[in-house]
Amino acid sequence: MRCRQVVDKISEYLDGELEPELVRELERHLEHCEDCRVVVDTTRKTVEVFCATEPAPLPNDVHERLNQMFTQKFRKEDPS
Amino acid sequence: MPAHLENEQDLVAAAKAGDSDAFVTLLNQYSRHIYRLGLSITGNHHDAEDVLQEALLKAYTALADFQANSRFYTWLVRIAVNVALGKLRKRTLWKESSLDEPREGEDGGFIPLELESWGEDPEKACLNSELQQILADVIQTLDPKSRTIFTLRDVEKFSIEETATMLGVSIPVVKTRLLRSRLKLREELTKYFGKDARNAMPTSRR
């Protein structure tokens, strides 16, 4: 397998969707190609960091306006 | 994807029966996720707030249509994505007809330029709030279609099939755009987290 093919297959490799034969070929390539090892490793970290990072809390003013909107809506529907 | 609330089915049932407190509990659990989704897709806070408000209002109004056998969050995300894409269409940033066509130069493959390994893991290299900001910034380097696909698949963890269905595109389109997005974001994040990072890191970087 060449570097170009490794790059094309990274997504499927990281998602565990690559056929076993291609996984073996790709990993054989990684054993002797430092550049591809870096690309695969940092792509994996990229996906992981996006997946693992919790969203920031809602900005206070956004939260406040959302609450107001629903408070008004509930009040309109149930004036009691 | 946020944690499933333990009593979610009960809350949804109560909200359907008109219990506004139950709806507010659901809303509090998911609002910041929906806001982030809106921000990723539209690229600005004003539209993200609109997406949040409109999506939650639509969900509240359509609660009777929600099927209890599916996940509430998935249903909510579908609504939010439609609202967000509506905003992009208004700004003509999303041309449906061209979704399957590669842009000029796009079919020539993507060649990684940054070949530098990362130092510390990003979670250790900066504060959580700083990391949130960096991720929000770099995702905007993608075009609207790619960042929508990336957000659904890699941020919200929907499957490739679910992502394709939500956006009405084919699975190969999702896969191709996902690959390019991951590689592009890897390049951008290497500027922050590479061993010889060029971008100035926030003050907390050790």
Q: Could you tell me which CATH number the domain at B109-193 has?
A: 1.10.10.10
CB B135 within 8 A of CB A51: no
Which residues of chain A make contact with B131, given a CB cutoff of 8 A? Answer: 49, 53
CB B48 within 8 A of CB B32: no
For B40, half-sphere exposure in the C-beta direction (CA atoms, 13 angstrom radius) is 30
B192-204 pLDDT, tens digit each: 999 877 665 655 5
What is the percent of chain B where pLDDT is above 70?
Answer: 84
Closest CA to B86 of B58, B118, B114: B58
CA distance B152 to B77: 9
Closest partner residue to B32 (CB to CB) among A47, A52, A57 is: A57
Least reliable range by pLDDT among B86-90, B112-116, B134-138: B112-116
Q: Does B128 touch chain A (CB under 8 A)?
A: yes
Pick the CATH number of B8-90 from 1.10.1740.10, 3.40.1280.10, 3.30.1540.10, 1.10.10.10: 1.10.1740.10
pLDDT value for B201: 62
pLDDT value for B94: 59
Let me know if the fold of B8-90 is the same as that of B109-193.
Answer: no
Q: Domain-by-domain residue ranges, chain A?
A: 3-77
Residue B205 has pLDDT above 60, yes or no: no
Q: Give the burial class of B3: count Cβ atoms within 10 A of its Cβ; 0-12 exposed, 13-18 middle, 19 or more buried.
A: exposed
Instruction: Indicate the average pLDDT of chain B.
Output: 86
Distance from CA of residue B55 to its chain's centroid?
Answer: 15
Q: What is the pLDDT tens value at each position of chain A, 80 positions in all?
A: 899 999 999 999 999 999 999 999 999 999 999 999 999 999 999 999 999 989 999 999 999 999 999 988 888 877 66
Residue B121's pLDDT band (cuts 50, 70, 90): confident
Residue A27's contacts (CB-CB under 8 Å, 6 or more residues apart) are none
Least reliable range by pLDDT among B4-8, B104-108, B131-135, B156-160: B104-108
CA distance B142 to B3: 27
For B66, half-sphere exposure in the C-beta direction (CA atoms, 13 angstrom radius) is 26
Nearest-by-CA chain B residue for A66? B53
Residue B180 has pLDDT above 90, yes or no: yes
Q: Domain-by-domain residue ranges, chain B?
A: 8-90, 109-193
Number of H helices, E strands in chain B: 9, 0
Residue B52 has pLDDT above 80, yes or no: yes
- In this prediction, the answer to ipTM > 0.95 reads no
Residue B97's pLDDT band (cuts 50, 70, 90): very low
CB A45 within 8 A of CB B118: yes
CB B96 within 8 A of CB B50: no
pLDDT value for B102: 47
Which residues of chain A make contact with B123, given a CB cutoff of 8 A? Answer: 49, 52-53
Which residues of chain B make contact with A53, given a CB cutoff of 8 A? Answer: 123, 128, 131-132, 135
Interface contact B189-A49, CB threshold 8 A: yes
